[in-house]
A and B are shown apart, each in its own frame.
Chain A
Amino acid sequence: MSDIPTAGEQPTVAEKIFTFVDERVGLKLLAAKMLNESVPGGSRWAYVFGSILLFIFIMQAITGVLLMFYYVPTADHAYASTQYILHDVDYGWFLLSYHFWGSTAMVVCVFAHMSQVFLWGAYKKPRELIWLVGLALFALVMGFGFTGYLLPWDQRAYWATTVGVEIMDKMPVLGDFLARFLKGGPTPGQMTLSRFFVIHVMVLPAALIALAGLHLFLFRCAGPAGPFRGAPAELKAKTDYFFPRQIWKDVVGMAVVFACISAMAFWEPVVLLEEATPDPGDYHPEPEWYFLFIFQHLRLKMFSGELGQFLGSMGLPGLLGVMLVLLPFFDRNPERNIFKRPFALIGWVMLTASILLFTVSAIINRDFLD
């Protein structure tokens, strides 16, 4: 009987389970649909940043959950529990430092990812919605950085939050309400810690998962933009699928980022300052480095006075945000080559240069304070 399979051809248990699920949900087709995504012009190392951001987020979620096994968000024990993680729990120092450097890597990669989309002209029709959701994701990442900074409840945490919330307070009409809402009162304390904690570990992750899902869905709807030059025939000849070459490049990128974050955690593990108190002592308050440029330009004379303060802390960053939101709707020219879009190129260079300039000058300024 030819239709009875011989012993060597018996499907394994794993194959049987796969077939069982496949018959019911169309696993093979789903996997094919996921993996066989055309990458116009072929896979590139330049396309790894989106996947890397997803990887960094997953690692932040994992290390964050692990930290919560020991951390308590109370004003009297947040500091002690963080010190306990750093000094007593096996590998606690590594996981906490990984989480800290992971946030830095996140900001760096978000900047790279956004710059790339901007320079490649990938925000243009039909990809406006991907860009908008991406901007919202950027805001969430900044929110993660701001709320997470308070949780160790040391001097650095306390003062960065104090100043950050004061900045928010300068927003017209809503400012006072927002600042009190975040602080849970007139001054930072237990209510602030509780609010920042729940925003950091519940609200922002839920929002990020939802928006990142939407971001990916919209990306799949529109497809990758591909290179901005090259004849259709040339692009077609170089086209391959997401799997395996792009995935391979993505995974190598993730491994490199993982190694870099781990190395930073080894070489520069997190060290807490004194426990938070409204008396700063010798401590010079300063925000995390990626907020330094905003912090530094508020030292300029032109941003003094009530109006100046508002312009410097909320007005200019807000204006930049609005411009980024409106960008794909005003820039209707289908040309994607950055070398044929002088305003875009000059704008990006100027913004990047001024962020660099203010960040570096903030670092140099430290020497004049000691």
Chain B
Amino acid sequence: MQPQLKSKVRCLDREVGEVSRVIMDPLSHEVSHLVVSMNGAGERQVPMGAVQVVTDDLVQLRTSSSEVMGMQPFNREDYVTLHEVEIPGLEKHIHVTPGEVLVPFPELERNVKRRAFFANLTYVTGLFIGLPLVYPVMKFLMKPMYAPLDNGWLKVGNIGKIKTEDAGIQFQYKRKIKEVYMPEAEIEKNVWLVKATPAVLEKVYQGKNMEFLDSSGRAIWTNKKDMPYLAFSGKCPHLGCAYKWRKHKVLGQVFLCPCHLSIYDASGRVLDGPAPRPLDLLPIQVTAGGEVQIIDMEFKAGTKSQTRIV
């Protein structure tokens, strides 16, 4: 039978202490040593070869107590517990239940400095693989994110459609897009036109022409302050929904966004709701024949100032 923990240990001459731990051999899966607690005089490692008989609560050694005192002292650092190591099948061989059951920490693993050295080398080598990939992968993923802006004029319809002043009239238009490898496609968009009275024009332009600049600061177009037609981007500046021209019980005819109930008057000014800025004005020109042309622009929603994204 296997020696039990807490069993008394008796030498040829006298009792010397009790079994405090058991050490297993990782290859043979058998108990190789007992650790004997020497009644307060430290712990000794006793090989199983020195054991004569094992009974329920006693281990009889075939050596004298002085020989046991001369055996190798037990050093806990040289061992790991069974829970910290993976040795297949070992646990099936253990019939010792309470306390610590140990297996020796391999000779090669005892030098802590070398362990740390190899661990650090491993991290460095891992970085050698990972770091060079960060920049290429980011560039790879960012390719389509910053498309150039298009400042071409698009025909949206004829002003003959506008019968009333200071009212929102929706004009649908088509825009050609070419996305990466896909064939050229047409998407439908809309813009709100207002034929403004001088009072509304004054609210919009406040006596100054409105200049549109490209990203490098060059002028693209100037909306003249006395040109009566206004074009508003169809995208609500709050969070990008599509707003409508609707009758409001209290405020009368207004631009109303159905998503979060932002309300704007015919000049695009915010009357109510969460919108952070007025409706976005677009560059507009009207030919002698009444054909309306705009530059299709979209601005980032939700910000106080305008940031153009399309």
Do A and B pair up? The answer is: yes
Q: Which residues in A have some Cβ–Cβ distance to B below 8 Å? A: 29, 32-34, 36-38, 40, 42, 66, 69-70, 72, 77, 80-81, 83-84, 88-92, 94-95, 220-223, 232, 235-241, 243-245, 247-248, 251-252, 254-255, 258
Please determine whether B126 and A243 come into contact, CB atoms closer than 8 angstroms: no
Nearest-CB residue, chain B, relative to A255: B125
Please determine whether A232 and B28 come into contact, CB atoms closer than 8 angstroms: yes
Show 30 residue pairs from A and B whose CB-CB distance is below 8 angstroms, ordered by the A residue.
A36-B85, A36-B86, A38-B106, A70-B143, A72-B181, A81-B180, A83-B181, A84-B181, A88-B180, A90-B140, A91-B137, A94-B136, A220-B86, A221-B88, A222-B88, A223-B86, A223-B89, A235-B27, A236-B26, A237-B107, A239-B106, A239-B108, A240-B108, A241-B85, A244-B118, A248-B118, A248-B121, A252-B125, A255-B128, A255-B129
CA A89 to CA B128, docked complex, whole Å: 24
- The answer to the question of B56 belonging to the interface, with a C-beta cut-off of 8 Å to chain A, is no
Main secondary structure on chain B at its contact with chain A?
helix
Please determine whether A244 and B88 come into contact, CB atoms closer than 8 angstroms: no
> Within the complex, what minimum Cβ distance (angstroms) separates B79 from chain A?
12
Which residues of chain B have C-beta atoms less than 8 A from A248's C-beta? 118-119, 121-122, 125
Main secondary structure on chain A at its contact with chain B?
helix
CA A247 to CA B126, docked complex, whole Å: 11
Apart from A33-B83, A92-B143, what 4 extra A-B contacts exist at CB < 8 Å?
A: A34-B86, A94-B136, A245-B118, A247-B122
Nearest-CB residue, chain A, relative to B115: A244
The total of chain B residues at the interface (CB under 8 A) is 36
Interface bits B134-168 vs A (CB < 8 Å: 1, else 0): 00110111110000000000000000000000000
CA A81 to CA B118, docked complex, whole Å: 44
Please determine whether B87 and A238 come into contact, CB atoms closer than 8 angstroms: no
> Within the complex, what minimum Cβ distance (angstroms) separates B115 from chain A?
5
The 8 closest A-B pairs by CB, nearest first: A244-B118, A32-B84, A91-B136, A90-B139, A223-B88, A80-B181, A240-B108, A84-B181
CA A87 to CA B107, docked complex, whole Å: 55
Please determine whether B136 and A42 come into contact, CB atoms closer than 8 angstroms: no
Which residues of chain A have C-beta atoms less than 8 A from B128's C-beta? 255, 258
> Within the complex, what minimum Cβ distance (angstroms) separates A99 from chain B?
12
Please determine whether A232 and B27 come into contact, CB atoms closer than 8 angstroms: yes
> Within the complex, what minimum Cβ distance (angstroms) separates B132 from chain A?
8
Nearest-CB residue, chain A, relative to B124: A251
CA A214 to CA B121, docked complex, whole Å: 29
- The answer to the question of B288 belonging to the interface, with a C-beta cut-off of 8 Å to chain A, is no
Please determine whether B122 and A84 come into contact, CB atoms closer than 8 angstroms: no
Please determine whether B125 and A243 come into contact, CB atoms closer than 8 angstroms: no
Please determine whether A223 and B140 come into contact, CB atoms closer than 8 angstroms: no
CA A33 to CA B83, docked complex, whole Å: 7
Which residues of chain B have C-beta atoms less than 8 A from A66's C-beta? 137, 140-141
Nearest-CB residue, chain A, relative to B135: A91
